[in-house]
Amino acid sequence: MLKRIGIAGVTGLVGTTLLRILESGPQEITDLRLFASSRSTGAKVRFRDRDYEVKEVEPEGFKDLDVAFFCLEAGLAKKLAPKVAKHCPVIDKSSEFRLRDDVPLVVPEVNPDALKGHKNIIANPNCTTIPLVVALNPLHRRFGLERVWLASYQSASGAGRELLDQLHYETEFIALRRPPDTTGSPLPAQLADNVIPQIDALDAHGHSGEELKTIRETARILGLPGLKVTSTCVRVPVTIGHSLAVTGRFSRAVKVGDALRVLKDAPGIVLSPGNELATPADCRDKDAVFVCRVRPGAEPEELSFWVTTDNLRKGAALNAVQIAGLLLPA
Ligand SMILES: NC(=O)c1ccc[n+]([C@@H]2O[C@H](COP(=O)([O-])OP(=O)(O)OC[C@H]3O[C@@H](n4cnc5c(N)ncnc54)[C@H](OP(=O)(O)O)[C@@H]3O)[C@@H](O)[C@H]2O)c1
């Protein structure tokens, strides 16, 4: 049972979302410990009519807890998670452990069995990979997935509070028809009124870090090591909600009607009735992965569709809470 919880990075976008999910959930939480950087030490965070003090993260603070949620960047997770894992299971949202053989990478609707034999660190996938595999997995089970083409349209909140604040700031300038100052921006170009076709650094072949995450994590979670995924990840001036244009090729012909029936019954998916549009604005603060525009691809074995989800919820915090629910059932 999930009763004693620690959250590292509670003041960030994912940490705040996680706290709100727990607050409205059924868990009776008897011990809640909140951690962030020294900048936040002493800050008060409200949870179910009580104020909790934020402390600077340190491994001994996680003693005797049922689970630790890590909402920190990868370098900090690398340093701290193995130490905290001596006290309790760590569900880590960074990219640090996602491809390690001894760390399960879990999306509860897709590969819950991967948790078996875990060694107290469990990785939460990338916020674009999660909705992608939730949508692809039921189609794969029915039609046999062979190939994926993906273009993502990723919101500013996917890069944390700093970029979200920068987008708000730039948007005010654009509304006044003035060029925003981008000197302090974490991005190489203005984001408001613009799109940026690169997320993270490029490797020697020109693939971005975000593209490689979606390619490698998708193959791992679906249990298809040789799966070919072509991925283009783009940052767009949306506050919350990642969207994906996906085409899958399968081992047999796929009729749209059959695919719609599969998707309609699949866990975690809301299929737009009548195939109406689902946009990031529709999915904000909602738990599901929304799928629409399901249509034939260029070949009978191909299917194209649109996916959108709240990257802070199912793309991050909710997926972690679901993993904790599998580790510690009520
Ligand atoms: N945003 C998403 O949609 C998303 C989705 C999936 C995965 N993730 C991953 O989740 C993690 C958190 O992302 P986020 O978007 O929540 O980032 P964020 O909004 O920038 O929050 C970062 C958190 O880390 C804390 N922190 C920073 N430096 C620290 C230090 N030296 N010691 C202890 N705590 C420190 C911050 O505390 P202070 O407030 O005190 O600075 C804050 O609580 C990242 O690894 C990210 O890649 C994010």
Question: What's the CATH number of domain 129-155+195-310, 2.40.40.20, 3.40.50.300, 3.40.50.1980, 3.30.360.10?
Answer: 3.30.360.10
207 confidence band (pLDDT: 50, 70, 90)? very high
Distance (Å, whole) CA 284 – CA 308:
10
| Rounded average pLDDT over 116-144 | 98
What is the CA angle 66-68-73, rounded to 5? Answer: 170
**Which pLDDT score is estimated for 313?**
98
CB of 98 within 6 A of ligand 1: the answer is: no
Distance (Å, whole) CA 182 – CA 129:
29
Domain boundaries, the chain: 4-125+316-327, 129-155+195-310
Q: Is the pLDDT of residue 275 over 80?
A: no
Task: Note the pLDDT tens digit of each residue in 190-202.
Answer: 999 999 999 999 9
Instruction: Read off the tokens for 74.
Output: 């990868």
**Which pLDDT score is estimated for 44?**
97
The amino acid that residue 56 corresponds to is E
The amino acid that residue 258 corresponds to is D
Q: Which of 71, 88, 118, 127 is catalytic?
A: 127
CB of 93 within 6 A of ligand 1: the answer is: yes
Residue 77: C-alpha distances to residues 6, 57, 93, 160, 237 (Å): 14, 11, 9, 16, 28
**Which pLDDT score is estimated for 111?**
98
Task: Note the pLDDT tens digit of each residue in 45-76.
Answer: 999 999 999 999 999 999 999 999 999 999 99
CB of 37 within 6 A of ligand 1: the answer is: yes
Give catalytic status of residue 205 as yes or no. no
Strand, helix or coil for residue 145: strand
Q: Is the pLDDT of residue 90 over 90?
A: yes
CB of 11 within 6 A of ligand 1: the answer is: yes
Q: Is the pLDDT of residue 2 over 90?
A: no
Q: Is the pLDDT of residue 273 over 90?
A: no
Contact 132, 150 (CB under 8 A): yes
Q: Sign of the C-alpha dihedral, residues 305, 157, 43, 55?
A: positive
Give catalytic status of residue 118 as yes or no. no
**Which pLDDT score is estimated for 53?**
98
What pairs with residue 25 in β-bridges? none
**Which pLDDT score is estimated for 23?**
96
Contact 149, 246 (CB under 8 A): yes
264 confidence band (pLDDT: 50, 70, 90)? very high
CATH architecture of 4-125+316-327: 3-Layer(aba) Sandwich (3.40)
Q: Is the pLDDT of residue 27 over 90?
A: no
Q: Is the pLDDT of residue 85 over 80?
A: yes
